[in-house]
A = this chain, B = another copy of it.
Amino acid sequence: MARKPPTNPRKNASQARSRATVDALVEATARILVREGFEKTSTNRIAEIAGVSVGSLYQYFPGKEALVAAVIDRHNHEIMQVVRAALTEVADLPIDKAVRRLVTVAIEAHRIDPKLHRVLAEQTPRTGQLADVEAFNREVHTLVRAYFESRRKEMRKIDIDIATFICVSAIEAIAHNTVLNQAEMLSDKMVRTLVDETTRMVVGYLR
């Protein structure tokens, strides 16, 4: 017999049942985004697919944007986890080995869920998540920068910030275009060649 909207706009989810509801909603949002596109992604439809009522949806999310934002966030966290792991793992390797690994990981990260990645890349601006994406970007830069710093001896005299900016931009773009443009027509051999070449370019640049 309650009713008294959670103090804050909407949020939280303490009991197990409600956490499941939230998960179902986020998952449903992701699925609809991929399968039907952003236009067809209405709150009513999300609720329907999640097997939840619209009312419940609005208990946890202030609106459609928030749902998309949640999906973006989840996906970004998945990617960042992979990237962080790689950068840790690579800390003691020399530049050439390290860069090769990072390039590989960049491509792998984009491959986690290419279709979702594509849709999210399109929708990120709209949801005001640009700031958060920016944050992730900064973290990547910081991590890479730190690695470069620790390997200065192997590198030529160079402005580390600029080198980081250039290398990260280049690697990200190549990974992005590789996965998104070349469709699914990506032979393993092709990937290996691209990794080789990208590594060559970056390593050659750094020293």
Chain A residues in contact with chain B, CB under 8 A?
Answer: 38-39, 118, 122, 125-126, 159, 162-163, 165-166, 169-170, 172-174, 176-177, 193-194, 197-198, 200-202, 204-205
Contacts and interface: CB of A to CB of B under 8 A. Distances in A.
17 contacts: A118-B125, A122-B122, A122-B125, A162-B194, A162-B197, A165-B194, A166-B194, A166-B201, A169-B177, A170-B170, A170-B173, A170-B201, A200-B205, A201-B201, A201-B202, A201-B205, A204-B205
Contacts of A200: 205
Contact of A197 (B126, B166, B172, B194): B166
B169 A174 contact: yes
B166 A198 contact: yes
Given A38-B126, A118-B125, 16 more contacts: A122-B126, A162-B193, A163-B197, A165-B174, A165-B177, A165-B194, A166-B194, A166-B197, A166-B198, A169-B170, A169-B177, A172-B173, A200-B205, A201-B201, A201-B202, A201-B204
A125 B120 CA distance: 11
Contacts of A159: 193, 197
Question: How many copies of this kind of chain does the complex include?
Answer: 2
Contacts of A173: 169-170, 172-174
Nearest to A167: B201
The residue among A122, A126, A169, A172 with the most chain B CB atoms within 10 A of its own CB is A169
A177 to B, nearest CB: 5
Contact of A205 (B118, B193, B205): B205
Contacts of A38: 126
Contacts of A162: 193-194, 197
